[in-house]
Amino acid sequence: MTRSLVIAPQWIGDAVMTEPLMRRLHARGERLTVGALPWVAPVYRAMPQVAEVIEFPFQHGGLQFAARRRLGRELQGRFETAYVLPNSLKSALLPFLASIPRRVGYLGESRVGLLTHRLKNPSGKPPMVAFYSALSGEADVSGDRPRLVLPEGEIDRVAALHGLAPQGYYTFAAGAEFGPSKRWPPEHYAELARGLDAPVLLLGSGKEAELCQAIADAAPGRCLQLAGKTSLADAFALIAGARAMVSNDSGLMHVAAAFGVRQVALFGSTSPLHTPPLNERAQVLWLKDDPTYQPPLDCAPCFERECPLGHHRCLRDLSAQQVLRRL
């Protein structure tokens, strides 16, 4: 059995998109250890194909060469193959310093000497699942959908902690790490919460607590503000047990899709052609695709953190009633 180290991406959504690659590697007999930053590690613990997760001690940003060299020495002799999923120079350093014989990844930024098997970077913005699955070296990497799995009873346990029953609530993921241009206005989320037939759990990181509290304040008695108050693993269980989820294009959107939860995904500055929720029960709302919306959104998708034109029409003009009808 080949012992393989996988260097994980740093964002939750990207990590979810790598699950089909894990499934392919495991199916052909590779024993998978994933090295991930702490905030991404829970994603891989929800993948049965992963035998071990190593939480990296690195901080976001910076080369941190000494720390990578120390960990590289500890890992020497443990692996025959490494798959480097991020495209950065620093992500390819650890397998090189650990002297792993076969190191696979995209060319990325100036790392020709660090990788032994290099794929050319595709042009444009390809679907992310296919982008990662191609690292398996298999010819046909189309049609895969990420799937996450929780231990039996976990959904019931976490829901009970909050006095809830599975399917007795909705979840909203109102934040987006990338920036304001991906966020549906909080007043729209509040209006939607007031129109639903069950309580709403507001999920996200501590950075999104203020945003989520504003939604809760505008929908009195309808929301439970949990952003920054749950572990990521518990947030996964709450999402998996929800009646449905409404979210921006974010990491938690992909988590809901991987659990097969009914969901409405709201796109504006980004494109569902690049990062759609891969879920048969998902519905995508994107005004760029709506022929009745006037004037047309020629500016979308801009992929900018802030609306370059200052109007934010692509998400502001998506109404709560449109989402409610989909739910």
For all residues of the chain together, what is the average pLDDT? 94
Q: Is the domain of 131 the same as that of 159? A: no
Q: With pLDDT > 90 as the criterion, what percentage of the chain qualifies?
A: 81
Q: Is the domain of 170 the same as that of 294? A: yes
Q: State yes or no: pLDDT of 319 exceeds 90.
A: yes
Average pLDDT, stretch 122-137?
89
For residue 296, tell me if it sits in a domain: yes
Q: Is the domain of 9 the same as that of 117? A: yes
Burial class for 318, CB neighbours closer than 10 Å (0-12, 13-18, 19+): buried
Q: Residue 315: name the closest of 173, 127, 186 by CA.
A: 186
Query: 148-160 pLDDT, tens per residue?
Result: 999 999 999 999 9
| pLDDT value at residue 59 | 74
Instruction: Among 103, 136, 169, give the residue marking a domain's end.
Output: 136
Query: 41-57 pLDDT, tens per residue?
Result: 999 999 999 999 999 98
For residue 146, tell me if it sits in a domain: no
Whole-angstrom distance, CA of residue 82 vs CA of residue 196: 47
Average pLDDT, stretch 238-246?
98
For residue 195, tell me if it sits in a domain: yes
Q: State yes or no: pLDDT of 110 exceeds 80.
A: no
Whole-angstrom distance, CA of residue 137 vs CA of residue 86: 17
Band (168; pLDDT cuts 50, 70, 90) = very high
Q: Is the domain of 116 the same as that of 231? A: no
Q: State yes or no: pLDDT of 64 exceeds 90.
A: no
Where in the sequence is the domain holding 259, given as residue range(s)? 155-326
Q: Is the domain of 205 the same as that of 112? A: no
Bond from prior residue into 301 cis (ω within 30 degrees of 0): yes
The DSSP code for 242 is -
Q: Is the domain of 104 the same as that of 159? A: no
Q: Residue 50: name the closest of 103, 3, 105, 104 by CA.
A: 3
SS (H, E, C) 144-179: CCCCCCCCCCHHHHHHHHCCCCCCCCEEEECCCCCC
Query: 180-195 pLDDT, tens per residue?
Result: 889 999 999 999 999 9
Q: Is the domain of 237 the same as that of 118? A: no
Burial class for 187, CB neighbours closer than 10 Å (0-12, 13-18, 19+): middle
Whole-angstrom distance, CA of residue 99 vs CA of residue 76: 6
Whole-angstrom distance, CA of residue 265 vs CA of residue 257: 10
Buried-state track 103-127, b at ≥16 Cβ within 10 A, e below 16: bbbbebeebeebbeebeeeeeeeeb
Q: Is the domain of 20 the same as that of 119? A: yes
| pLDDT value at residue 142 | 72
To 5 degrees, how large is the angle CA 281–CA 284–CA 288?
160
Q: Is the domain of 168 the same as that of 93? A: no
For residue 235, tell me if it sits in a domain: yes
Instruction: Among 109, 136, 163, give the residue marking a domain's end.
Output: 136
Q: State yes or no: pLDDT of 103 exceeds 80.
A: yes
For residue 69, tell me if it sits in a domain: yes
Number of domains comprising the chain: 2
**CATH code, domain with 308:** 3.40.50.2000
Band (101; pLDDT cuts 50, 70, 90) = very high
Band (39; pLDDT cuts 50, 70, 90) = very high
Q: With pLDDT > 70 as the criterion, what percentage of the chain qualifies?
A: 99
Interhelix angle for 232-240 vs 251-258, to 10°?
Answer: 50
For residue 144, tell me if it sits in a domain: no
Q: Is the domain of 87 the same as that of 203? A: no
pTM of the model as a whole = 0.93
Q: Is the domain of 174 the same as that of 305? A: yes
